[in-house]
């Protein structure tokens, strides 16, 4: 496999950052995850951290070097994350469970598989166009599909942030799956929270990422999203990859997995409370305790050796 991958998360104008993003890759498979937490105190961050960490932990265990069934992997991992969040809420006697959206994508054998719950989006971009995108699990999206409101009205609708499917809610999440989607050289797969896509037209994103350096193009798009978000700009987060299956001179940012060992996995996921970009008002002791609690919660859903 050869691909370029980049991720970035910003706080926007919110008091803290409840988004969590991650990616992993083995010799023959790639995983990308975006989660947007919802909940009081620091529990939104806990929910999104549990989601991202559950998926990356499972990938590290199972991608040796490929996954047996990517769709089953996504279904099982997202369901486990949902139950782990509920367990965390029960263990801490929370009146209302924290929740998170989640969108995740696996790529192996030049085929993409993705799943989502909520309104964090995936775009498949090809030759400067949107070839495919996820359908938001939100009340506003339902109103658009029913013809009650227009896309323009949806952008400023007062209920635009309300989702009907998520991980950690009282009902089992509605996890929606893609079809098996073959990728072509130059395809871009972008996962993001609504703080990013909510202010940027899909066509603008697609054109901006056509044959450009992701490390330059994404920060520029993030700047535009922050500017358009104004004084109420939400957290905004992106994980994006450009897929390459032809032999060209490697850019500095390009990943080649050809020489990786069969059981080797590389992961990029910030530990809870360790990245200054995720601002929170917890002490070091409280952060350490939260890390241990997250690890303990997720371990309940990890196969015992």
The predicted model scores a pTM of: 0.90
Specify the pLDDT at position 248: 40
CA-to-CA distance for 274 and 279, rounded, in angstroms? 10
**The pLDDT value given to residue 162:** 82
- Those residues whose C-beta lies under 8 Å from the C-beta of residue 42, and which sit 6 or more positions away, are 16, 280, 282, 290
Give pLDDT, residue 95: 87
Token pair in block for residue 146: 């029913």
Tell me the C-alpha distance between 256 and 3, whole Å. 7
Q: In the chain, what are the domains?
A: 2-299 (3.60.40.10)
Look up residue 83 and give its two tokens.
């139950």
**Helix, coil or strand: residue 107:** strand
Identify the pLDDT of residue 283.
86
DSSP one-letter string for 251-287: PTTEEE-TT--TT--EEE-PPTT--TTS-----HHHH
Question: How many residues comprise the chain?
Answer: 305
Residue 282 half-sphere exposure, CB side, CA atoms within 13 Å?
22
Could you report the average pLDDT of every consecutive run of 10 residues in the chain (305 residues)?
A: 95 94 97 92 91 98 97 98 96 92 97 97 97 92 77 69 90 96 96 95 96 93 96 96 66 76 91 79 88 93 77
What pLDDT score does 51 carry? 98
* Helix, strand or coil, per DSSP, at residue 122: strand
Query: Coil, strand, or helix at residue 268?
Result: strand
């Amino acid at each position: 496999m050869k691909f370029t991958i980049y991720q970035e998360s910003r706080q926007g104008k919110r008091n803290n950052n409840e988004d969590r993003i991650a990616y992993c890759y083995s010799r023959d498979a790639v995983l990308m995850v975006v989660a947007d937490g919802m909940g009081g105190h620091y529990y939104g961050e806990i929910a999104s951290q549990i989601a991202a960490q559950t998926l990356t932990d499972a990938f590290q265990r199972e991608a040796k070097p490929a996954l047996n069934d990517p769709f089953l992997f996504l279904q099982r991992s997202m369901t486990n994350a949902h139950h782990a969040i509920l367990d965390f809420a029960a263990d801490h006697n929370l009146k209302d469970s924290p929740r998170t959206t989640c969108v995740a994508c696996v790529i192996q054998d030049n085929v993409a598989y993705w799943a989502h719950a909520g309104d964090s989006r995936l775009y498949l971009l090809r030759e400067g166009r949107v070839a495919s995108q996820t359908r938001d699990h939100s009340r506003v999206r339902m109103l658009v599909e029913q013809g009650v409101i227009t896309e323009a009205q949806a952008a400023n609708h007062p209920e635009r942030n309300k989702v009907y499917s998520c991980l950690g809610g009282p009902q089992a999440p509605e996890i929606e799956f893609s079809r098996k989607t073959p990728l072509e050289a130059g395809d871009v797969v972008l996962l993001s929270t609504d703080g990013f896509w909510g202010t940027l037209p899909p066509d603008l994103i697609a054109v901006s990422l056509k044959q450009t350096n992701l490390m330059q193009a994404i920060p520029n798009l993030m700047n535009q999203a922050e500017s358009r978000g104004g004084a109420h700009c939400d957290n905004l987060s992106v994980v994006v990859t450009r897929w390459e299956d032809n032999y060209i001179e490697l850019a500095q940012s390009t990943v080649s997995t050809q020489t990786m060992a069969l059981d080797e996995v590389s992961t990029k996921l910030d530990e809870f409370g360790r990245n200054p970009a995720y601002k929170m008002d917890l002490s070091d002791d409280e952060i350490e305790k939260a890390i241990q609690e997250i690890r303990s919660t997720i371990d309940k859903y990890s196969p015992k050796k």
